[in-house]
Structure 1
Amino acid sequence: MAKEIWKPGNMLYPLPAVMVSCGDREGRTNIITVAWTGTVCTNPAMVYISVRPQRYSYDLLRDSGEFVINLTTEKLLRAADWCGVKSGRDTDKWKEMHLTPGRASRLDWAPVIEEAPVNIECRVTEVKELGSHHMFLARVEAVQVDKDYMDADGRFRLNDAGLIAYSHGEYLELGKKKGSFGYSVKKKKRR
């Protein structure tokens, strides 16, 4: 198999395409779309987002030390893309995309996006200035989930929400189930 060698870069795809809502202590809020996000730790529950210091939301994040990761679905895809290419300096993204800011349960300044199926409320514990992006490490303070995706047994059916991933400049809807965690080592049941 022949391969080309490229300069160092980020080719770790797919990634979640999420809308991050944030606010400062003066009441200004904004939505920023990020793909540089992920899980850092299970206990305590921690995540990160990476943001360029030039972005409008950067100062809001620094001021309040809070943000909400709002999962993106097929229904929210246009808003997610739009919020990623437009600046909050120039427009009210909430109004333009018909999104509803809601009250976070454990945060003071950052609102949730009501239309998102999952809102992950985060408090910044550390900012790592890495280069083009600064990484905001955060502790998860609370998670809000849309009751529409709860089944009769009380299980949350997140994969029924039509989640969106970002891969190499394209948005993809997550699709067909191919297995479950541990399926490769699970013993077959005897009849």
Structure 2
Amino acid sequence: MRVDWKPGTLIYPLPAVLISCGTMEEGGANILTASWVSTVCTNPPMCVVGIRPERHSHSLIMDQGSFGINLSTVSMARETDWCGVVSGRKENKFRACGFTKEAGTVLGTPLIAESPISLECKVREVTKLGSHDMFLADIVGVRADEAYIDAETGAFDMQRAGLLVYAHGEYFSLGEYIGHFGWSVRKKKTKRR
């Protein structure tokens, strides 16, 4: 039997990412944990993130017009959670977490070197929605840790990266590999005679 609940944000799981923003100057960067993040367009590559206006990172992103999306891993789970509950107005999160700040190669946006994949994003539009503002952004650069790139295929190995996901207030590791996009309709290869 199914029951009705009041409308809510129950689209889970989502990636648990670290949004980096600000400047490369000492004390000029911040990190914010976010899960309300998604891709919205392939060509051009675009993404969206929802951020509360009262968050310190909100003003940094508004000032700079850019941010980084840094995928987090199971080994970064404690730091990922901590960056979401401690204010960057009071703490230098890069230093406190032991993260290495590196400049994105396109905009110079602060990125997290320990992240298996970092996306450098340029804000295209900000829409005020209610509790959150929606930042629509162009993905202008991607940095990947070559340790997770398959030498034969050149593909990024998400399973080996140990990515962290968020589901309704809880963190999880990614589960077992089931298949790739389109595997359900792919025809088996047959040997030619």
TM-score greater than 0.5 by the shorter chain: yes
1:158 correspondence with 2:158? yes
Q: Is the contact between residue 24 and residue 103 of structure 2 (CA under 8 Å) also seen in structure 1?
A: no
Query: 1:3: how far off?
Result: 2.2
Query: 1:188: how far off?
Result: 2.1
Q: What's the counterpart of residue 55 of structure 2?
A: 55
1:143-170 Cα shifts (integer Å, max 9, x gaps): 0000111222133223210001100111
Measured at CA, do residues 90 and 71 of structure 1 come closer, stay the same or move farther in structure 2, by a change above 3 Å?
same
1:33-84 Cα shifts (integer Å, max 9, x gaps): 0000000100000001110001011100100010000001011111100000
Distance 1:83 1:113 in 2: 13
Structure 1: unaligned runs, 5 residues or longer: none
Moved more, 114-123 or 153-162: 153-162
Q: What's the counterpart of residue 184 of structure 1?
A: 184
Q: What's the counterpart of residue 130 of structure 2?
A: 131
1:116-169 Cα shifts (integer Å, max 9, x gaps): 010100000000100100000000111000011122213322321000110011
How much is the aligned-residue C-alpha RMSD, in angstroms? 1.5
Q: What's the counterpart of residue 100 of structure 1?
A: 100
Q: How does 1:11-90 map to 2 (within 5 A)?
A: 11-23=10-22, 28-90=28-90
Q: What's the counterpart of residue 115 of structure 2?
A: 116
Q: Structure 1 stretches (4+) deviating beyond 6 angstroms? A: none
Q: Please, what TM-score do these two structures have when normalized by structure 2? A: 0.93
Structure 2: unaligned runs, 5 residues or longer: none
Amino acid at match of 1:96: A
Distance 2:156 2:8 in 1: 36
Q: How many residues align?
A: 189
Q: Is the contact between residue 24 and residue 63 of structure 1 (CA under 8 Å) also seen in structure 2?
A: no
Amino acid at match of 1:172: F
Measured at CA, do residues 101 and 10 of structure 1 come closer, stay the same or move farther in structure 2, by a change above 3 Å?
same
1:4 correspondence with 2:11? no
Measured at CA, do residues 24 and 95 of structure 1 come closer, stay the same or move farther in structure 2, by a change above 3 Å?
closer
Distance 2:77 2:114 in 1: 12
Distance 1:133 1:142 in 2: 25
Measured at CA, do residues 83 and 25 of structure 1 come closer, stay the same or move farther in structure 2, by a change above 3 Å?
closer
Q: Is the contact between residue 70 and residue 115 of structure 2 (CA under 8 Å) also seen in structure 1?
A: yes
Amino acid at match of 2:91: T
Query: 1:26: how far off?
Result: 7.6
Distance 1:41 1:152 in 2: 28
Query: 1:6: how far off?
Result: 1.4
